Amino acid sequence: MWDEPLVLRGRSFRSRLIVGTGKYPSFPVMRRCHEVSGTEMVTVAVRRVDLSRQGESLLDYIDTSRITLLPNTAGCYTADEAVRTAYLAREAGLGDFVKLEVIGDEKTLFPDVQGLLEATKTLSREGFIVLPYTNDDPVVARRLEEAGAAAIMPLGAPIGSGLGIRNPYNIRIILEAAAVPVIVDAGVGTASDAAIAMELGCHGVLMNTAIAQARDPEAMAEAMKLAVEAGRLAYKAGRIGRKLYASASSPLTGVPEWAPLP
């Protein structure tokens, strides 16, 4: 299927599936999942180097010639922490993209939208390509776009919950108003969730746990690739309207008669 690429601040991606690097059974399994999923962008955390034990690097298992890195600010609870983490990521050579997270609550991992807006403003001004993880609030989405976000990344459901797209109507409202791409980030549990996000018209889906923690991560990576493509194709094809009653697909005329013979 021909499809226009996903464009984030002038950078084009053919794959609309962004995946994580966490919670896989092993780095080799992660690498195979990345390959099978067809992803061109993976998110990574930024953490302290373990001074006592320096082994292999995560980056040894990511083909950076094909895959763009998306450093995240997971674990940051203030705009200041998130901004400093983004700077560190850029200095480490991880590029200009940042999956911006400013977490407001430990239990739900819902975003602190005030901190998120502040950090989006600062980092956009400093030339970062900011992809903020936010809740599914259309007003916040608009504010993020005004603050310079290169995309809006509303959650479908809490991070790691696998509950799917809990409020498709809000996602639709965000899509209607947004001039930047909308990427569902978090909540996807299985392939149909990813397909639903794409059928709504989302420009991409970001997921980690759904693949990494599946019983067979590689098979799920392939399922997700197909689901994102199928959902996208269905969106472009334009679905039929919903009706309460049946409407036959065969002609109503020319039906043979089988009246009993006289």
Partner 1 sequence: MRIVVNGQPMEVPEGLTIEDLLGELRIRRDFTAVALNREVAGRSSYGTTVLREGDRLEIVHPMAGGA
Q: Provide the binding-site residues for partner 1, judged by CB under 8 A.
A: 19-24, 27, 30, 43-49, 51, 54, 57-59, 69, 71-72, 74, 84, 87-89, 91-94, 99, 101, 109, 133, 159-160, 185-186, 207-209, 212
The answer to whether the CB of 227 falls within 8 A of the CB of 195 is yes
CB of 218 to partner 1, least distance (A): 17
User: How does DSSP classify residue 38?
Assistant: T
Q: Could you give the CA distance from residue 181 to residue 6 in angstroms, rounded to a whole number?
A: 8
Please, which residue, 199 or 227, has the CB nearer to partner 1? 227
- The answer to whether residue 99 is catalytic is yes
Report the distance separating Cα 226 and Cα 220, nearest Å.
Answer: 10
Q: Which of 99, 107, 121, 225 is catalytic?
A: 99
Residue 177 vs residues 51, 121, 170, 206, 252: alpha-carbon distances, Å: 47, 19, 11, 21, 43
Q: How far is the CB of 208 from partner 1 (least distance, A)?
A: 3
What SS3 class is residue 64?
coil
Q: How far is the CB of 233 from partner 1 (least distance, A)?
A: 26
- Cβ closest to partner 1, residue 18 vs residue 199: 18
- Quote the least distance from Cβ 37 to partner 1, whole Å: 13
- Evaluate whether 95 touches 123 at the Cβ level (below 8 Å): no
Q: Is 81 helix (H, G, I), strand (E, B) or coil?
A: helix
State which residue, 199 or 225, has the beta carbon closest to partner 1.
Answer: 225
- Closer to partner 1 by Cβ: residue 59 or 173: 59
How far are the Cα atoms of 25, 57, 73, 167, 195 from residue 47, in angstroms, in the given order?
Answer: 20, 12, 10, 33, 33
Question: Among all residues, which ones are annotated catalytic?
Answer: 99
